[in-house]
Chain A
Amino acid sequence: MSRRAGPSIWRVARLVAAKDLRIEWHSRVFTNQVLPFAGVTMVIFAFALDADVVLERVAPGLVWLATMFSLLVLVQRAFAIETDDGALDAMRVAGIDPRAIYLGKALGLGAQLLVLELVLLFAAVVLYGQTVPLESTALLAATLISATCGLSAVGTLYGGLAAGFRGRETLLPLLTLPAVAPVLIGATRAVEAALGTAGAVVSDGWPWVGLLVVFAVAFGVGGSLAFGPLIDE
């Protein structure tokens, strides 16, 4: 029989990402549940740290903490849609390249995370009185993009791994939170530099962006190679 060359990995990855975003568009879980959850988290932080000086000092860290917590909700959701009716298994049974599934899921997750981070930054401006200097826009953008790539790479890898287990709701945070600690640290420091928190300057932030990029590349490459064996197990 003649072998059939299917669509490329990138094309299938785009299909998977588009499918995930379409599902979110229909179900509105992102807008009706995840964004409000992140917003409530930011408000609770504000209540807990009710001193302006403290809030101003820790605002970048709070933005990323809220992002991490929301990441867990997003990852659970991203894999719940795959396991509700055995679609993830069906993709593997259909011979779809696991690298394409991984990249597609990470792309879809990353798009939602990026929107979430922008909303959280806006919330930090409104709730915590942060200001974003114009000259730090490039650093802020680079931080958001590189941190998003890292978070979605880790979230997709461990989301896929946890999807096959009972008790995945509790397993996922246990696996994910330690792994994303470098992103939490790097992104917090870079945003501190971008916002000028505690006397930090923009140039202080770029080495942290470098760390975020290295993390994202390492987890992206490793994740795409490991994803197939992990979900097959």
Chain B
Amino acid sequence: MDTPFTSDATQAGDRPVLRLVDAVAVLGQFPALAGASLRVERGEIVLLRGPNGAGKTTLLRLCAGLVPLSRGSGEVLGLDLATDREEIRRHVGLLGHQNGLYLDLSVAENVEFWGSTVGASTGELQAAMNRLGVADRLADVPVRKLSAGQKRRTALACLVARRAQLWLLDEPHAGLDASARDELDATLREAARQGATIVVASHELERAGSLATRSVDVVAGQVGR
């Protein structure tokens, strides 16, 4: 049976959720990624670590279909990064420094909006809120009144509601206090246990390292183990 974070295709065989081979991405005239190779399997939490400007964010944006693949090859959820970028965007969730929420809407209204853009049912919306712990007490609270950690969880619930199967998180712990960070880590571990695939770019190596099932270094636009 499908878990909330998997599709028929990603469960089939041992096909990776993400595969990059010598991927090059050029921003302007500058090669922000210079031959990155990476393979991520379903249910993994992979940490991208590296200094500022190493190419971590570009790597996430490439995987989300936002940055074009200049050379090399890549597949996300079985879709070609060179030709299917618009389609890839619909299946991937990218969470950066902002949460992409409507502050005057309640948690439930935000989840409903994002879920409705992919035709999610009422049951799916409720399940998404339940899984991220933002149902019941928080459901009717305007997002503006939530703590930073609660906003993050609401944003993740929106990713689940719109059926994102690969979560790309850029500095997900930024702006959160210690308890909110613990809460977020527990949420992400639980999501991965249920089949979500998560790639995290973080400066906070100790914290993100304890969360990840595997770490890879990103240095000067290249990916190593």
Contact = CB atoms under 8 A, between A and B. Distances in A.
A96 B162 CA distance: 11
B98 A15 contact: no
Given A1-B9, A90-B98, A90-B99, 4 more contacts: A1-B7, A1-B79, A81-B104, A94-B162
Interface in B54-73: 64-66
Interface stretch (B18-26, B44-52, B88-96): B88-96
A12 B117 contact: yes
20 contacts: A1-B9, A2-B7, A3-B87, A4-B91, A6-B118, A7-B119, A19-B105, A22-B105, A22-B109, A81-B102, A84-B102, A85-B101, A85-B102, A87-B100, A87-B101, A94-B114, A94-B117, A94-B162, A95-B89, A96-B117
B66 to A, nearest CB: 6
Interface string A1-42: 111101100001001000100110011000000000000000
Contacts of A81: 102-104
A23 B117 contact: no
A86 interface: yes
Interface of B: 7-10, 64-66, 77-79, 86-91, 93-94, 96-105, 109, 113-114, 116-119, 142-143, 151, 162
A85 B103 contact: yes
Give 4 nearest A-B pairs by CB, closest first. A90-B100, A86-B98, A95-B89, A1-B9
Nearest to A90: B100
A95 B90 contact: yes
Contacts of B96: 86
Contacts of A91: 100, 117
B105 A89 contact: no
Contacts of A87: 100-102
Pick the most buried of B86, B104, B116, B151: most chain A CB atoms within 10 A of its CB.
Answer: B104
A95 B9 contact: no
Contacts of A84: 102-103
Contacts of B77: 1
Contacts of B116: 7, 15
Contacts of A22: 105, 109
A89 B101 CA distance: 11
B87 to A, nearest CB: 6
Contacts of B9: 1-2
Contacts of B119: 6-7
Interface in A53-100: 81, 84-87, 89-91, 93-96
Contacts of A94: 89-90, 93, 114, 117, 162
